[in-house]
Structure 1
């Protein structure tokens, strides 16, 4: 309270004198009494007063919050409160928004535009960057002014600026030092662990985070990170999907690699399982691949391959099969059949028959199976019959297309 009165007295030394005397006496008054005296004296002045509270997120004293809340409710109309904070303060923000008594400047409002980035780099800092280079750097810093300044510091004296921009990441020493000190260094161990492990995905929601970390209630951490503006960017108005700032994600991934290198594969597998359950096929396969789990990639391609072709997305299927080593494809009859279908559709058709023959040979080589004793890459003897049926179907397609089929 004393600091508050002292700040206001810089405008008018007479304001708050009585309140200070009472504070320094033995009367032990309530904060409401002191504030009423202070507000009454402020109301009698003709000065416009702006009270600025910087770094308010460091305040964790409930009494201070009550004092500021009381002041906000009863201060004169010509008095303005300016609060700089990384967290939404526990004030009546909703009510103030409804009454249009609140002006909010959020992180999105502070982001530099492409044009502003170009002006800062070329006009202010003296670089002669092409618009292509400016745009490339802007995509990396995403309007974050501090990172743009740090990038500019790093570029000074650089001969190949274009190459520097293309390789500029969160592991840049200036960015690294800033993020380590100002962001990660101030988080709890639980939040740090959350940040590192969830950095493996390009976007996230609470359910996906629960799967990756193998625990529930991660929505609370996501909400906390969003409120604290910790480089978490919401992707929708419903506060469901988020992503990290690109440079922050770079840092987190590098830290994860340094601290928990042996856990990365398992994290990707968990992400892949979640995406599979949500029928997000591309992401499921991508994370299985990043987790270096080729068996899982193969299983997913087998699972969804024919569904993809039914939607005329053979190019997607082709890209999936190209991710797998040839020997993996040639050791799985369903993958051989899918590869044969692609060759039938796009050529060369001679290779289609090659893969069908490989699929047939795998069935012949497999031991006899029954429902309770599956062979490798077969779910049952029924599956073998389905494989034979698929082979026959593709051969029939080829015969009809090439005019070899003679109707009765």
Structure 2
């Protein structure tokens, strides 16, 4: 299992959408500014009453929920410019569906106000931003000197339940002086009742956002048309105060044409009719066709539109549309990137869907090719999926899934895999499933891993992958990691994998590591030393720091077996440095590093250090399962030895019991069975009853512990962990008993005091 990290998917965090309006009062135009400061140009209707309500409200959480075109962004920008505190702006439609992506965007926006050495980026890299990590992230947010206003615009684009669980935890834990504002088309899945009861919530909707007669009159005046009070009031009645409707009517009036009398009530059909009546007549047929065909793109640039349309001059067309206030939105000051206002894009997509279906598919295929050529795998995969091209999506996923997972975007990878499971590609599906199985194995998700193992083995492993590796070699690589047939099977599968993996395949390092395991567990220490050394060298060249750390830990065990203390200490230090520098505390590969380091520190009498390392290793025990048995058992046995040396027999017994359960399912792992038996005998000689504690928690109980300090109820925790409510109740009772507490609050206090959350 080759593991590597990349900062590729963190780039969004440095982008801060800023909002401007055109001089005639057009709809909100999200825009990215190098300084990241929201601003409005002249001509904007001043929503004085709304902004005043926002300024005076004591609420720390603000929700603005209304259909498109109600000026949600405009109100937020006007509030932000007068808030008197730093503002961090995140446009949620430009981030992914993983907590890691969302928090990367938020931390990137907040980083403009952060002091040097701010802890949040490193903390996020270690934790991934899931709900259990939010308490620690909020503590890092509190390091900022002043309270910050965090704006999450277009929140309806967030659909991942993990993201919303994380945001709910943030809303309930905001540091003093902070505010968070959500703007959304759809109802927000936040604990609104709890926030209302605490007086922390201000809610704005259609009624509050509708324009008054005076505001409508001002907006139309910005288009060069003067209306008396009666006509302005009539326009408000016709549009029900819908700001976008009033704006579109102002365009018609400015052109000397009567405005449509259609009433807008929030219905999509009526909205499209209004746009067709008031906006499309302002465009030429060529412009309408341009916008219809490029509506497959979320963001528009001259080159990307040229590629999709197989034409030239798209940059000039975009500039012209924007300059004429036709709801084409610039995203940067250089005029390179744009997007259609959501109202217009929705209409254009509807028009495209009613055109020849083959045209839409062809447009998506061209978009996929352009994004793939420009090293943007996420959009490329989305367009391949939209085109229904499973084979092309598979090629892209196979290349992108490993770095995407390593960056913390687990839900993105899961989404790709689920889509491919419904649209199996003709040749690459076994390899995709094999890599998916190992990714979920590394996350400790044994059920999902087993499902993808079965999928990988359900189809013929024929053909060659894009990098030149054979499918058969890829499945052998998977089987070697699974070790279902013990050391004999590992040795066989390693040989098959190395014979069929491409020379440049990053997975060759993993197979050399597996060869070292066979030799180590078979007692051939010299051969193991060579294999692990080769594996570390290859992993280092490939930038796979988790495997580098793990390889050094294995070299430490070899040197310890050879009684070469100098080499053992050197390799252990190198392993720890790799974990610290690459922030790998939450990686499966780090369990053995931390456990071996704890054992070494305990043996040397460095008790506080050994205990701290043991706690870090114990937090990774939920990741150690039978799916990746060899290193999992190694880590558990090392941790058990460390616990015994620290006079913690209860902790040793918990780790040993977990290791023995794995060995029951994977019995052919050489000397590991003997090591477990010797440790069990040593524990059996301890007759005195020992006090339970954190280290005695089972792996299942350890999964529960980080969620106890969140807002999630026990039934919600059960849902999060995919177990029954009864199971969670039983585990909670065990946690209380082992921690010596009687309530959730006391348990959380104890967990925080021990530093184990």
TM interval, shorter chain, is: 0.5 to 0.7
What is the Cα deviation at residue 137 of structure 1?
A: 4.8
Aligned to 1:274: 370
1:327 CA drift (Å): 6.6
The count of aligned residue pairs is 276
Residue in structure 1 matched with residue 440 of structure 2 by the alignment: 343
1:86-125 matches, cutoff 5 A: 108-112=41-45, 115=48
* TM-aligned CA deviation for residue 111 of structure 1: 3.8
Alignment partner of 2:334 out of 238, 253, 263: 238
Correspondence 1:15-94 to 2 at 5 A: none
* Mapping 1:204-283, distance limit 5 Å: 204-283=300-379
| Distance in 2 separating the partners of 1:388 and 1:85 | 64
Tell me how far 1:153 sits from its aligned partner.
2.5
Conserved in 2, the CA contact under 8 Å of 1:196 and 1:256?
yes
Residue 382 of structure 2 corresponds to which residue in structure 1?
A: 286
Structure-1 separation of matches of 2:65 and 2:470: 59
Aligned twin of 1:49: none
Pair 166,340 (structure 1): closer, same or farther in 2 beyond 3 Å: farther
* Alpha carbons of structure 1 residues 329 and 252: separation in structure 2 relative to 1, 3 Å: closer
Distance 1:138 1:361, change over 3 A: closer
Specify the alignment match of 1:172 in structure 2.
Answer: 272
Q: 1:349 to 1:116 in 2, by over 3 A?
A: same
CA deviation vs aligned residue, 1:30-70 (integer Å, no higher than 9, x gap): xxxxxxxxxxxxxxxxxxxxxxxxxxxxxxxxxxxxxxxxx
SS at match of 2:318: helix
Task: Tell me which of the two structures has the higher relative contact order, counting C-alpha pairs closer than 8 angstroms and 6 or more residues apart.
Answer: 2
Partner residue in 2 for 1:389: 477
Note the C-alpha offset of 1:290. 2.1
Q: Structure 1 residues 307, 133: closer, same or farther in 2, change over 3 A?
A: closer
User: Retained in 2: the 8 A contact 1:170–1:176?
Assistant: no
Pick aligned residue for 1:319 from 415, 418, 441: 415
The alignment status of 1:138 with 2:70, answered yes or no, reads yes
SS across alignment from 1:243:
strand
Structure 1 residues 179 and 347: CA distance shift in structure 2, 3 A = same
Report if the CA contact (8 A) 2:390-2:423 is conserved: no
Structure 2 Cα separation of the partners of residues 179 and 272 of structure 1: 30
Distance 1:241-1:387 versus aligned 2 partners, 3 A rule: same
The reply on whether 1:398 has 2:629 as its aligned counterpart is yes
Provide closer, same or farther for how the CA distance between residues 132 and 191 of structure 1 changes in structure 2, counting only shifts above 3 A. Answer: closer
For 1:169 and 1:108, locate their aligned partners in 2 and report how far apart those are by CA, in whole Å: 31
Q: Which of residues 421, 424, 427 is equivalent to 1:328?
A: 424
CA contact (8 A) 1:114 1:134 kept: no
* 2:238 paired with 1:153: yes
Q: Distance in 2 between matches of 1:194 and 1:242?
A: 14
Partner SS for 1:233? strand
Q: Which residue of 2 aligns with 1:33?
A: none
Q: Distance in 2 between matches of 1:171 and 1:292?
A: 30
* Cα distance, 1:239–1:380 mapped onto 2, change above 3 Å: closer
Q: Which shifted more, 270-279 or 345-354?
A: 345-354
1:176 shift after superposition: 2.2
Normalised TM-score (structure 1): 0.55
How far is 1:132 from its partner? Answer: 3.7
Does structure 1 residue 356 correspond to structure 2 residue 453?
yes
**Distance across 2 between alignment mates of 1:276 and 1:170:** 38
Partners of 1:109 and 1:335 lie apart in 2 by 53
Aligned to 1:305: 401
Cα drift, residue 324 of structure 1: 2.8
Per-residue Cα deviation, 1:155-209 (whole angstroms, up to 9, x for no partner): 49xxxxxxx866547843223210122x23xx1x433322211122121111100
Structure 2-normalised TM-score? 0.32
CA contact (8 A) 1:233 1:244 kept: yes
Q: Is the 8 A contact 1:309 1:317 kept in 2?
A: yes
Residues 141 and 359 (structure 1), Cα distance of their counterparts in 2 relative to 1, 3 Å cut: closer
For the Cα contact (< 8 Å) 2:369–2:380, is it kept in 1? yes
Q: CA deviation at 1:383?
A: 4.9
User: What's the counterpart of residue 212 of structure 2?
Assistant: none
Give the C-alpha shift of residue 272 in structure 1. Answer: 1.6
Q: What is residue 91 of structure 1 aligned with on the other side?
A: none
Gaps of 5+ in 1: 1-83, 87-106, 120-129, 157-163, 368-374
Gaps of 5+ in 2: 1-22, 26-39, 53-61, 76-215, 221-231, 242-263, 484-513, 515-627, 634-658, 664-668, 673-757
**Cα distance change on mapping 1:253 and 1:325 into 2, 3 Å:** same
User: 1:244 Cα deviation (Å)?
Assistant: 1.2
Give the CA RMSD over aligned residues.
Answer: 4.2
Structure of larger gyration radius: 1
Q: CA deviation at 1:254?
A: 2.1
Distance 1:191 1:236, change over 3 A: same
State how far apart, in whole Å, the 2-side matches of 1:135 and 1:327 are.
Answer: 33
